[in-house]
Amino acid sequence: MANKQLEQLRAHLESPEGERQLSEWVKTYAAALDHNDRWVQKFKNRCETDLAASMRKLVKKYSSKEYIDREYRLNREPRETLLWLAYEYAVRYCKPYRGKKYLNDFTAGAYHIGPYVIQLMVGQGSALRIDKK
């Protein structure tokens, strides 16, 4: 059964319509990567000179009761867009964290970012955890 489905998929991708759809997907994906790269560069340009203060502001903002309550009033989990951007920055420009103190079984990656350790945890979802060293 799976082999038949694989053949159908291959035939679709080799058709003109399949090639067009794949080409559109590649363009969309490339645009998303480019967008992400530009925002990481903006974060680097704006925050790298005083990473400690920038991270302190981000942690304060996203952990504040006011922010969390406002997001829940809008019927959504609190978004942490700039923290995810900080994690992307850390992946590219910061040293990996090699200690054991801040890690747990769900840690997928951890990095030093200023006076903090930022880690990606995955389980039934993804979350960022930030600890001050």
Confidence at residue 50, expressed as pLDDT on a 0 to 100 scale: 94
pLDDT digits 0-9 by tens, 1-16: 678 898 998 888 899 9
95: pLDDT strictly greater than 90:
yes
The overall average pLDDT reported for the chain is 94
Distance CA 75, CA 30 (A): 31
77: pLDDT strictly greater than 70:
yes
Q: What is the mean pLDDT of residues 65-92?
A: 96
Confidence at residue 1, expressed as pLDDT on a 0 to 100 scale: 60
Say if residues 123 and 106 touch (Cβ distance below 8 Å). yes
